[in-house]
Amino acid sequence: MASFLLHLQVRLVLVGLYLAVVRLIRRCVIPRPPILVTDVKKCHELFATTTLEKRAALNQRLVVAFGIENGFTTTNEDVYCSFRNEIEATLERNSNDYARKDLRDLITTSAQEFLEISAQTHRSILLINLVRVAVFRTVLAMFFPEVPRLSDEDIVFVTTKMNSLWHDSKSPWKIFQARYFPTQSPIIRDKAQLHQRLKLVFPSLRGRKSILACENPLNILLPACMGLFRVVLNCLLEVRFRSIPTDFLEYTHLFQQYLKDPNDRWPVEENDISVQQIVAETLRLYPPTRRIYTQREKRVIAVDIEQVHRSSEVWGEKPLEFDPRRWKREGLDTIQTVEYFPFGGKIGSPAKISRCPSRTRGGPKLIAVIVGSLLGVLGDEWCLVMQVVGECDGDSMLASSCGSKQP
């Protein structure tokens, strides 16, 4: 009898351990869905109360997938301040007409070379790769001027791997696999390939056996390229390929005028529209980040920026349409309209951690420079010949469209 009770107790303990492990794995692999917040007042409250700890806990997937340590993944105040100060100083240094003209010329030359090389073998190009090259070269010129010129092939390889890892990092199962079964993990495989290419093209990393998290160029490349790419691609699609001919000509004229003198002041409106409104409308429909995540009482909370930006209560009829004139028509303002926050916390609010530093340091104007330069290179000789149904977004970087030169 005693032996039977002992065996029963052992089995109960084993069953209990088994259930505990199952619950633990399920919690890791199938987390509770986030609570989506669209109430504007609550959104700004969440921005104001976000801490490094709340944000870093949700971004550890990026540490696993990319091997980074930056202001989004750290709880160390010194690391965060150093990271943010470096970003702010670089943006400030490039937020003037001389720097914007240099970037304009760089983007124009790079895009022309990309089209010329592509035209030698194909009549069509992947528009997504043209934008990738333009955005990546812009970020390199601003943050890594010491890096020698990369080939388009290197850029496409690096950005494709970044995209793949970004998507895989959103899968709790793939992150679990990377942590506990690394030899079978596509994340670990892709990260190794990405790091290997970075060691070849970044002089400071050559000869290294591994890339230290604190020295990883992805600390900057990842947040800068992913958000900027989404906005630039969609702005280019809306202006160049989705607008009616009269709007396209007007939009293009406005960008051309701005690129002649891209100083700190936006050009004045023409016919109730300006470059500032075109960029603002793009950021409204396609914010760099659809949702900003934080934590409260162990629950994941998501500020649903995209949903707030597409509410008919604020943005008038047909809020899903790209219509830059709505800003003048509805009396909207990029600063005063509290329902507009593509860069996180509003200026003047106690939400520095949740606010992208590019908001006050030339971010929208940088978008205008890249889009305007690409419009100038594409001209009216290219047409959209294929497009995947659905939205083009920088989170996925899908090859959603091709440009084909008109005969």
d(CA 194, CA 189): 9
Closest listed residue to residue 332, CA positions, set 378, 388, 274, 290: 274
Closest listed residue to residue 270, CA positions, set 254, 292, 256: 254
Domain with 57, as residue range(s), is: 53-380
Helix axis angle, 275-285 to 218-236, nearest 10°? 110
d(CA 35, CA 52): 20
Low-confidence ranges of the chain (pLDDT < 50): 389-390, 393-401
Strand order in the sheet with 401-405: 124-126, 401-405, 382-387
**DSSP structural state of residue 239:** I
d(CA 235, CA 324): 11
d(CA 381, CA 133): 20
Q: What tokens were used for 63?
A: 């540490």
CB 277 within 8 A of CB 268: no
Would you state the torsion angle of the CA atoms of residues 362, 363, 366, 367, taken in this order, to the nearest 10 degrees? -150
The answer to whether residue 232 sits within a structural domain is yes
The answer to whether residue 293 sits within a structural domain is yes
pLDDT of residue 348: 57
The answer to whether residue 391 sits within a structural domain is no
Closest listed residue to residue 135, CA positions, set 369, 344, 358, 306: 369
3-state secondary structure 339-395: CCCCCECCCCCCCCCCECHHHHCCHHHHHHHHHHHHHHHHCCCEEEEEECCCCCCCC
Q: How many domains does the chain have?
A: 1
CB 165 within 8 A of CB 68: no
pLDDT of residue 334: 84
pLDDT of residue 399: 35
d(CA 406, CA 384): 10
d(CA 235, CA 286): 8
pLDDT of residue 297: 79
CA-based end-to-end distance of the chain: 92
Put simply, whether the predicted model's pTM sits higher than 0.85 gets the answer yes
Length, in residues, of the chain: 407
The answer to whether residue 192 sits within a structural domain is yes
CB 279 within 8 A of CB 368: yes
The answer to whether residue 147 sits within a structural domain is yes
Domain at 330, CATH number: 1.10.630.10
The answer to whether residue 60 sits within a structural domain is yes
d(CA 11, CA 356): 54
CB atoms within 10 A of CB 224: 23
Helix axis angle, 218-236 to 152-169, nearest 10°? 100
In which residue are the tokens 């959104």 written?
43
* b (16+ CB within 10 A) / e for 35-45: eebeebeebbb
The answer to whether residue 34 sits within a structural domain is no
CA-to-CA separations, 374 to 108, 236, 386, 398, in angstroms, rounded: 7, 8, 19, 19
Q: How far is CA 198 from the centre of its chain?
A: 20
**DSSP structural state of residue 213:** G
The answer to whether residue 44 sits within a structural domain is no
In which residue are the tokens 């908001």 written?
359
